[in-house]
Amino acid sequence: MSKTHNKSGVHAVTVDRNRTGQRLDNFLLNQLKGVPKSAIYRMIRTGQVRINGKRCKAASRLDAGDQVRIPPAHTRQAGEAFISESVSEQVEEAILHEDADFLVINKPSGMAVHSGSGLPWGLIDVLRNKRPGEYLELVHRLDRETSGCLVLARNGSALNWLATQFREGKVEKRYLCLLNGRMPEPVIEVDAPLKKIQGERQGVVEVCADGKPALSRFRLLQAYRDASYVEVELFTGRTHQIRAHAKHLGMALAGDGRYADKESVRTWKKRGLKRVFLHAHRLGFTMPTGISHVFDAPLPLNLRKILDEQET
């Protein structure tokens, strides 16, 4: 484990080899348990957190031996968050694969991957609660509403390897979604850079010429009267990439409260859709041993029901 000092003042943390390749924000969430996520991001944004004396970003990757400066922080609450046994069982039953290096889980919709933004716990907290003392770190993330394949590392070497595979676009990532409207072609490739919007609509991204490169391939699976059931393959991993690219096509995802218009969201609610129709159904990657893994998570029954009720 990394060496730390008292949280009451500024202290330095030496990154050990098990944290090599980890994102700074995930590292701090582990170091500052109980501190609101918003406070941690504010510390980074305002330059209070430094790596080897230099300003950094939330997505900065750590190397063994790095010195991370951490300012004083106040916890959100005393004691541990209560996690019910039923939630723990739900998460355990959702595990698709587990070995000495990583764990793949079919994340339920509505469950955040970690605590923060008013949430006392997330999926990783549930797993850590059931496996006290074990190494568990998120390799990537899924939005709270999104269900499907999520991978967590079980040691530092696996975290570094898998994080690099994601960052270099070497992971197969396929999602199932429902678009508002009919796709005009069976396959549409969207190569459109994305940029986060600042100000009132913070947390939303949009296509912008000076954004970060983003490439998605939409493949039609089933056409309906006013919707398209689609598989999307991601070749990059930008925040809200599918949601923003779908909107860019003029066909925002069904039930998407952030990117679809309000009338559309209301219409889908009347049809029984209470969440964004987005599911990470396939994840594939190769480990250092050369062994390739592919994991599939079936479409949740509540989303399957929505499809069954659509008119062709």
> What is the phi-psi region of residue 44: left when phi exceeds 0, alpha when psi lies from -120 to 50, beta otherwise?
alpha
Distance CA 165, CA 160 (A): 9
Average pLDDT over residues 33-55: 87
Which residue is associated with the tokens 């793949």? 104
Which band of pLDDT confidence, cut at 50, 70 and 90, is reported for residue 242? very high
Instruction: Read off the pLDDT of residues 4-24 as tens digits, 9 standing for 90 and up.
Output: 444 457 889 999 888 888 899
In this model, does residue 92 exceed pLDDT 80? yes
Which band of pLDDT confidence, cut at 50, 70 and 90, is reported for residue 117? low
Q: How many CA atoms lie within 13 A of 104 on its CB side?
A: 16
For helices 24-31 and 37-45, what crossing angle results, to 10°? 130
Catalytic residue among 25, 125, 143, 256: 143
Query: In angstroms, what CA-CA distances link 293 with 54, 103, 136, 285, 297?
Result: 38, 12, 19, 5, 13
- Alpha helices (runs of H) in 54-134, residue ranges in sequence order: 85-93, 123-130
If one compares 43 and 194, the residue with the highest pLDDT of the two is: 194
Residue 285 forms beta bridges with which residues?
293
In this model, does residue 2 exceed pLDDT 90? no
Catalytic, 191? Answer no
Instruction: Read off the pLDDT of residues 169-215 as tens digits, 9 standing for 90 and up.
Output: 999 999 999 999 999 999 999 999 999 887 655 579 999 999 999 99
Average pLDDT for the chain: 90
**Nearest alpha-carbon partner for 116 in 42, 177, 62:** 42
| Domains by residue range for the chain, with CATH | 11-70 (3.10.290.10), 85-164 (3.30.2350.10), 170-308 (3.30.2350.10)
